[in-house]
């Protein structure tokens, strides 16, 4: 049995890869969509990489269901030490609703993944780093696999967190951009520069 100690949440630019727990999780993997991504997220969070809280932002019951389904016979004890900030509850709801609108509808794990991505959106680094993914390409894979119609809209490979919030603004018909188009915008690098 692995005991997850109360987590010190921090981000790091060049995270080490917590391969031991990842390998152990994958040795129990059920062969379902998202097994590898969940293993990566859990292994990173347990190592204190990224910004997700214990349980990846899911409540204990849901996280237990995720573990039982994707990594049967793998036991992790989660001690939650954080709670959602009430002042960002509406933002959380909006981001989650946007992501869920685009779920592939192929597997229940898309719902859990949407909650996890939304929780990471509340943190302050690049989305793939806040999730504790090992490189940005895994986030592109996550979005394409779970929320394909949303991922397909990111035709210019915009930074993922910027992209999600821009979708929310467009949905509400709010224009926050100062330039008429991205090509002539002084903030281009902030939205499209390398996400490293």
**Site residues for ligand SF4 per CB under 6 A:** 166, 177, 179, 182, 185, 187-188, 191
Work out the angle at residue 114's Cα, subtended by the Cα atoms of residues 8 and 163, and round it to the nearest 5 degrees.
90
Nearer to ligand SF4, 96 or 185 (CB): 185
**Which of 146, 91, 98 lies closest to 122 in space, CA to CA?**
91
Total residues found in the chain within this entry: 196
CA distance 87 to 24: 37
Q: What's the min distance (Å) between Cβ of 192 and ligand SF4?
A: 6
Q: What's the min distance (Å) between Cβ of 26 and ligand SF4?
A: 37
CA distance 142 to 128: 10
Q: What's the min distance (Å) between Cβ of 181 and ligand SF4?
A: 6
DSSP letters spanning 101-130: HT--SS-THHHHHHHHHHHHHTSSS-HHHH
Nearer to ligand SF4, 79 or 171 (CB): 171
Nearer to ligand SF4, 78 or 164 (CB): 164
CB of 176 closer than 8 Å to CB of 169: yes
**Which of 163, 138, 147, 136 lies closest to 110 in space, CA to CA?**
147
Nearer to ligand SF4, 6 or 188 (CB): 188
Nearer to ligand SF4, 4 or 182 (CB): 182
Q: What's the min distance (Å) between Cβ of 121 and ligand SF4?
A: 17
**Which of 7, 33, 12 lies closest to 134 in space, CA to CA?**
12
Nearer to ligand SF4, 111 or 191 (CB): 191
- Dihedral (CA of 56, 165, 99, 182) sign: negative
CA distance 92 to 100: 12
Q: What's the min distance (Å) between Cβ of 174 and ligand SF4?
A: 12
Q: What's the min distance (Å) between Cβ of 136 and ligand SF4?
A: 18
């Amino acid at each position: 049995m692995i005991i997850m100690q109360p987590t010190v949440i921090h981000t790091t630019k060049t995270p080490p890869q917590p391969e031991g727990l990842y390998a152990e999780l994958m040795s129990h993997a059920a062969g379902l969509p998202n097994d590898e991504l969940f293993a990566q997220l859990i292994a990173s969070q347990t190592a204190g990489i990224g910004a997700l809280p214990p349980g990846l932002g899911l409540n204990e019951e849901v996280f237990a269901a995720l573990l039982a389904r994707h990594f049967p016979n793998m036991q992790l004890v989660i001690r939650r030490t954080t709670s959602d900030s009430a002042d960002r509850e509406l933002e959380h709801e909006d981001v989650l609703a946007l992501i869920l609108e685009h779920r592939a509808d192929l597997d229940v794990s898309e719902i859990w993944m949407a909650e996890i991505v939304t929780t990471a959106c509340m943190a302050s680094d690049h989305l793939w780093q806040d999730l504790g993914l090992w490189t940005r390409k895994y986030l592109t894979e996550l979005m394409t696999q779970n929320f394909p119609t949303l991922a397909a809209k990111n035709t210019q490979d915009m930074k993922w967190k910027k992209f999600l919030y821009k979708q929310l603004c467009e949905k509400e018909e709010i224009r926050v951009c100062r330039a008429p188009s991205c090509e002539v915008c002084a903030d281009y690098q902030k939205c499209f520069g390398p996400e490293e």
